[in-house]
Structure 1
Amino acid sequence: MTYSLESTVAEKFDALLQRLELTSRMKDMHDIYYLANICDFDGRALQQAIFETLQNRATSYESDSFTRVIALAQNKDIQLRWRQYLRRMKLEEPLLEDVMAIIDKFLRPVWQAVVEETEVLGCWRCREKMWGSVTEQV
């Protein structure tokens, strides 16, 4: 079975959302960050994948759940786990704050659309690290 990139992001985001401060899966954060840096995404497809994953896994969430995920960057235990993860992977960067800043920029509009039951109409453009309209050339 092969997962789409959108489903991969959705599964990893769901794991973060479910565990929050208890997460030991630094790789999930790193993978979302990595994919946001190297792949363009269609907003509707990503929104649908996240919505379906949350529904299929019966993940409970509130409108502020995303903010709680992003706030993990300030958690001392998570910061320690991140440094340990980088050491294990033989990496010096990225800094956890940078990872969470990209995840915030990448997924916040999608999260808001899921919570507000609206649609993401744009495309994530990895080179620019921003959302653009669907009519713009990528």
Structure 2
Amino acid sequence: MINRFTIKEKSEQLNIPFKNLLSASVAEIIIGIIADGKYCNELYLCNIGDFNQAVYKDICISNIYFEYIKEIDEKMAVLYMRDILKDIMAKGSSEAFIVNGTVEEGAIHLKIIVDEMYIPLKIYFDKHRASHEPEKMELKLTAYENRSVVVFTNPKEEELSKHLIEIIEKLELINDMDHYYLAYKILTECPVNGRKVKERLAELLAERSIEINDERINMLEGYRSYTYMKKKWKVELRQVKKSEPAWEDVNICLINFLKPIWKAIEDNVVFLGDWMPQLKRFLD
């Protein structure tokens, strides 16, 4: 069982801040509960890259992101999440967790108490849109020596690359601003392997005979203050029934991701950066 003493001992052993290790350990167990539940085959964990000790050294995990493949409307999605919440609350007691939670705006908001320590977590759920098959991965639980869970994951590199190539090719003539919306969503929710995106994007650029030079990336960056693109973004937000993010934030995030990858493609060198959604930058 997780308790103050075991987490303190482990945090010193691994050189991970106590708060970060506590939150990560609890989040891992919550993922395990969901992975062992009745919806295990229809839920894909999107941010599995967050769950490793290198990340824990820098970041306190507070969000878990899943996608569901079930065909349900918004009302049914709420009932779906409530059912998952009941399962977490019931099974959490076997981990000595005191769990309370609510379902709000596409997420389960958890308030967990372990050995008189409070850990807030949010589990976000979204509709799975990509067509590629999920991967099965083993997640080793940090708080335990010999315990792991198997989860379905949805790597985002292919999906992100396809959104980016549309943005890069169409420039201001892009009609479907969903490409911006979904690319930003991936970059702010999911860790991304920069090498895989660089390799796939290079293939797509070659297929479409797009010249790799600074002019194109500078044009994309210049759209940050372009009134025409701001208006198109406002229309997109109305269509998805959102009031944010601001266009400037979307542009900054995308350019921060694209620039180093574009340079690596231009120079024909290997790119090894791992994108951290919480930081909105590549991990050094």
The TM-score with structure 1 as length reference comes to 0.87
- 1:6 corresponds to: 157
**Contact in 2 for aligned 1:14/1:59 (Cα 8 Å):** no
The equivalent residue for 1:120 is 271
- What is the root-mean-square deviation of aligned Cα atoms in Å? 1.7
**Greater gyration radius:** 2
> Contact 1:20–1:72 at 8 Å: present in 2 too?
no
Aligned partner of residue 84 in structure 1, secondary structure: helix
Distance in 2 (CA, whole Å) between partners of 1:30 and 1:70 is: 16
Which of the numbers 85, 92, 105 marks the counterpart of 2:256?
105
C-alpha displacement of 1:87? 1.1
1:73 aligns with 2:224: yes
Partner of 2:211: 60
Percent identity over the alignment is 23
**Letter matched to residue 215 of structure 2:** D
1:94-137 superposed Cα distances (whole Å, 9 cap, x missing partner): 0100001111112211111111112212211112222114xxxx
Where structure 1 has 5 or more consecutive residues not aligned to the other structure, the ranges are 134-138
CA distance in 2, matches of 1:13, 1:38: 16
Report how far residue 61 of structure 1 moved: 3.6
Structure having greater relative contact order (Cα 8 Å, sep ≥ 6): 1
For residues 28-70 of structure 1, give each alpha carbon's deviation from its aligned partner in whole angstroms, at most 9, with x where no partner exists.
1111111011111112111101101111222234222112112
| TM-score computed with the length of structure 2 as normaliser | 0.44
Provide the residue aligned with 1:129 in structure 2: 280
Q: Does 1:29 align with 2:159?
A: no
Which structure carries more strand by proportion? 2
Amino acid at match of 1:66: I
Cα distance in structure 2, aligned partners of 1:23 and 1:75? 14
> In structure 1, the residue corresponding to 2:269 is in which secondary structure?
coil
Aligned partner of residue 124 in structure 1, secondary structure: strand
